[in-house]
Amino acid sequence: MLNFDTDRFLRIQSGAIDLADGLRDAVARCLREGAQNLFFVGSGGAGILMLPAARLLQTRSTFPVHVEAPAELVAGGSVHLGPHSVVVIPSLSGTTAESVEALGYCKSRGATVITLTGHADTPLAEGADHSFVNFAEDDTSCESFYLQSLILALALMQERGEITDYDEVVADLKLLPKLLVDVKQGFEEQAERFAAQIQDEPYHIITGAGSTWAEAFYYGMCILEEMQWIRTRPVHAADFFHGTLELVEKDVSVITFKGEDDGRALVERVEAFAPRYTDKLSVFDTAAFELPGVGARTRSLISPVLLATAFERVSAHLEVKRDHPLTTRRYYKRVSY
């Protein structure tokens, strides 16, 4: 595979799953100490990567869950934030300015803070009540953050008696790092073809629903926009039919991320519509990825993980074909603002 280090990938994704026991212990302790609600407070992409776990809890658990952008939480506050709150702050660098500020803000309100970072010697890792560190970089952080937040959500539901299959799901997840390498390998050729196909495309509509909405949002904003400077319109498949559809015409690229959860039918509705008006519909379906030994229940929870792992391959080819390194930025961490 192009520019891919299998051992490093296995180490990072196994590292995420190895945090399971610690995450469950932290969640159990928070509940024992009287936690009454949970906040996911991540900036930009890190925040997006929490959305599938947040949505799982918001629709399947009676535990109150809030999603806030750090900058907005600090600016506006929330009546729900207090000594009985658990706040999850993800940040790969451990230094994201708005998130560091949110850490201080949440602690000053008496909340218990869990941070998920890539580096131990950072303000977010050092300032947390419960710090979980798993080194990753931009090419590996999606799966790592999706998995950590999923495990945290499942642990919360298991501890509260809302599910009983935490152990089975986590056992499946332990198979994943190796299987994700197989997914990448099986997708490599298609990834290169797709990268070639879109390398000169100036604009994409990218959509998903359920847990795949997060990956559509993330891939559009944090990869195509941020790392490739390509105009992208991430739009939820439910919203697509209430505005953005009018932009679809013959030459417009529409990318759909289809998963194995409740959002599937919504994405299929876009898939049925788009090819009637554009010849540039690209459908990516997680059901195409074989995961021997992983049950349907676990599969239904990891659609964004599978899409992230496959599309990292697209990114790897895009940067070469477009001669535009994924690490090049005009502004981010280059100029102050």
The residues with which 132 forms a beta bridge, in sequence order, are 116
Among residues 256, 258, 253, the alpha carbon closest in space to that of 230 is found at: 253
For residues 84 to 123, the per-residue mask of contacts with its own copies, x marking binding by CB under 8 A and - elsewhere, is --------------x-------------------------
Kind and range of the H or E run holding 60: helix 51-60
CA atoms of 268 and 262, how far apart (whole Å): 11
Q: Please give the radius of gyration of the chain, using alpha carbons only, rounded to the nearest integer.
A: 19
Distance in Å, CB of 22 to its own copies, minimum: 27
Give the interface size with its own copies as a residue count (CB under 8 A).
Answer: 62
Interaction of residue 160 with its own copies, rule CB under 8 A: no
Q: Sketch the per residue contact string, 140 through 159, with its own copies: x for CB under 8 A, - otherwise.
A: --------------------
Non-local CB neighbours of 157 within 8 Å, separated by 6+ positions: 57, 60, 61, 63, 163, 166
Task: Confirm or reject binding of residue 138 to its own copies (CB under 8 A).
Answer: no
- Of the ranges 111-119, 130-138, 148-156, 324-332, which one interacts with its own copies (CB under 8 A)? 324-332
* C-alpha to C-alpha distance for 148 and 249, rounded to whole angstroms: 40
- The region of 77-85, 187-195, 285-293, 319-327 touching its own copies under the rule CB under 8 A is 77-85
178 binds its own copies (CB under 8 A): no
> What minimum distance in Å lies between the beta carbon of 320 and its own copies?
19
- For 96, the token pair is 């994201």
Query: What's the CA angle centered on 16, arms 25 and 260, to 5 degrees?
Result: 100
**Which listed residue (226, 260, 312, 319) binds its own copies by CB under 8 A?**
226
The residue ranges of DSSP E strands in the chain, in sequence order, are: 37-40, 65-67, 85-91, 112-117, 130-133, 203-208, 231-236, 253-258, 281-285
- Return the residues of window 30-69 that contact its own copies according to CB under 8 A: 43-45, 58-62, 64, 66, 69
296 forms part of the interface with its own copies (CB under 8 A): no
β-pairing, 65-67 vs 112-117, is unpaired
State in angstroms the smallest separation of the CB of 146 from its own copies.
17
Give the nearest distance from C-beta 192 to its own copies in angstroms. Answer: 24
Contact between 260 and its own copies per CB under 8 A: no
In 3-state terms the chain splits into helix, strand, coil percentages (rounded to 5) of 55, 15, 35
Residue 323 interacts with its own copies (CB under 8 A): yes or no: no
Using rule CB under 8 A, residue 200 touches its own copies: no
- The partner residues of 40 in beta bridges, in order of sequence, read 67, 88
Interface residue list for its own copies (CB under 8 A): 43-45, 58-62, 64, 66, 69-72, 75-80, 98, 203, 209-210, 221-222, 225-227, 229, 231-233, 235-236, 238-239, 241-249, 261-263, 265-266, 269, 272-273, 276-277, 329-332, 335, 337
